[in-house]
Structure 1
């Protein structure tokens, strides 16, 4: 890839289309190599002291395979290759991939560098021992969840984040920043703050300050299903300032989907169900329509406080809910009321019993619940045959 002459400021082509970029042209900032696309988090760490400190904190071994997310021009990469057996660098921008490849080409380090071109969130990652990342802010949350769910778990992850996002990782029950991210991260990993990194350590400087954190996945891992745990948390934190009763019993779409999932679980475990309409004529229920669900989402938009790194592409519901939710909304359009069946009544009573009788968490809000509360909820729901993942 030809370099632009240092005196030229207009060289380089436009950034390749990116799943992270909304307006690529507005995020293009010139540097000596080519135009940097800040919309996809292209802020190169230029301070060699900070880069060295980040790699040192990983405590790399000569046998380690390191995953680096967003290598950029390779300032972290070359320091990783000095200590590790191999570096797998996942890069979205073909120009950056070419630049980091060229940087070590023809050297002994070049044979130990593997560059994977693509979106790290959508890429099936090979085995790695350690992850080091100057993380593009837009993918902070999905990358964290992906690393937490990786099996086998990496030994350690050294990750650079927007400072506000890092604070969410540490947040405790009752804190304004406490969220599903906080509970998940602290459930699956021990988290330490390593250092603050000022914006002037990057080229071009980002609009916010950064922090480096160390995530050490717990060993042994908690003996629960990640998908099951995360599915429960997604429901609880859909509206973290609402009570658990409102999030479950007061949300018809959730109850309908839990009923469908309970039916699947019963079928797979040879549990007989009594079908038919409920005997009580008062068991007519309102069916949520798309407008009311949208209003709920708008009402709770302030839960995220407008962070640039929020889960913009992160759905409110577990993945296995999506198709069922769509069909439920379609069936609701022609009628505002429908009669509940016996299975729906059974599931509703199970949920009520778990929230009110077995855990006494019906009137608590997700933002005030701790890890023990969520574990109690998950155990009680599972005991009743109610699950939060596909089977």
Structure 2
């Protein structure tokens, strides 16, 4: 047998150790690396539980889904308190994440339907309640909440992904049957636009459209440090209480009127309605309406005179959209319809 020097033995041993450490790349590799570096992986049993009962989740967050996990237990409890939950309530939760808010809702509600787009987070939430006293009360819907029909619910609670703030708000407002309330987390500026009143700097089309169908109140300010990872903006919680019954208004007609009025919200309504594009659109709609209803367009008909006549009749010609409330716009819409003028 050939002799092996100490130096050769050392080299062979190092080579064997190196080859033994080589493993096929698997989906779990990044999570194992996270554990070795002292960071919690992004799912399953490797998330850490703090002394306050909340779970921190990381390291990988899907930025396209707007994932910011609420880790402040006082904020979570405040949201649940503002919802005024009853033991008979079914709660729809949008974006439950790792369940820091979910577990507080489960303590007070009959059932929680949690809609989560990220399969990793849905699995984490399932494991969190598995075998516990609330397991039978939780139902998880995996998928995009904007692409599915919402189930029946009494209350909606959401730490809302900010990129779906507006579409989710109106999906809820138009949901039937009417629910009792929704308590939603939004970017601070968006929340303030929802609750803005005539004369406020953020008052606009969003404010009017939402307030047509619901009572909206600001209930809680939330610091960016209440999330992991912290977002770039401050947040607020608003409470939306749909009007029951809702006003009998065609939303497309309503939004068409409001869109024109707020095209330049500090200009007079007369100035906004006198633009060439607006008058052409309204005249086309008027002629279409007459044709559909079997009416004749009057000789010498002038759409500009008809529109300004309506504004003068209500003494709104010099009014500005930024100063008008929902009732003012309802009066305008009714008067325009009486004059045969439509917005869609």
Global fold match (TM > 0.5): yes
2:250 is the counterpart of 1:225: yes
Question: Does the 8 Å CA contact 1:381/1:387 hold for their aligned counterparts?
Answer: yes
Give the structure 2 partner of residue 352 of structure 1. Answer: 308
Please give the alpha-carbon distance, in whole angstroms, between the structure 2 residues aligned to 1:156 and 1:383: 35
Partner of 1:44: 69
Deviation at 1:44, TM superposition (A): 0.5
Q: Distance in 2 between matches of 1:122 and 1:249?
A: 39
Larger radius of gyration: 2
Instruction: State the SS of the aligned residue for 2:88.
Output: coil
Q: Deviations over 1:48-78 (max 9, x none)?
A: 2221221122122232221211111121122
| Residues 10, 157 of structure 1: alpha-carbon distance in 2 compared, 3 angstrom cutoff | closer
Residue equivalent to 1:147: 172
- TM-score (norm. length: structure 2): 0.77
User: Pairwise mapping of residues 131-280 of structure 1 onto structure 2 (< 5 A)?
Assistant: 131-252=156-277, 254-273=278-297
> Residue 206 of structure 1: CA displacement?
1.4
Q: 1:70 to 1:249 in 2, by over 3 A?
A: same
**Whole-angstrom distance in 1 between the partners of 2:234 and 2:227:** 10
Q: CA deviation at 1:197?
A: 1.5
Secondary structure of the corresponding residue to residue 101 of structure 2 = helix
Give the structure 2 partner of residue 100 of structure 1. Answer: 125
Q: Give the counterpart of 2:330 among 375, 378, 381.
A: 375
- Structure 2 distance, partners of 1:107, 1:223, is 46
Q: For the structure 1 residues 130 and 273, does the alpha-carbon distance in structure 2 shift closer, same or farther, using more than 3 Å as the test?
A: same
Q: Which residue of 1 is the match for residue 51 of structure 2?
A: none
* Helix, strand or coil at the partner of 2:203: coil
RMSD over aligned Cα atoms: 2.8
Q: Does the 8 A contact of 1:191 with 1:215 survive in 2?
A: yes
Contact 1:199–1:206 (Cα < 8 Å) also in 2: yes
Q: Against the structure 1 CA distance between its residues 236 and 149, is the aligned structure 2 distance closer, same or farther, given a 3 Å change threshold?
A: farther
Verify: 1:4 aligned to 2:28, yes or no: no
Which residue of 64, 71, 74 maps to 2:99?
74
Structure 2 residue runs of 5 or longer lacking an equivalent are: 1-26, 44-55
Quickly say closer, same or farther: Cα 1:387–1:67, change in 2 above 3 A: farther
| SS of residue paired to 1:82 | helix
Partners of 1:108 and 1:374 lie apart in 2 by: 51
What SS is found at the alignment partner of 2:330?
Answer: helix
* Alignment: residue pair count: 302
Give the TM-score, by structure 1 length.
0.68
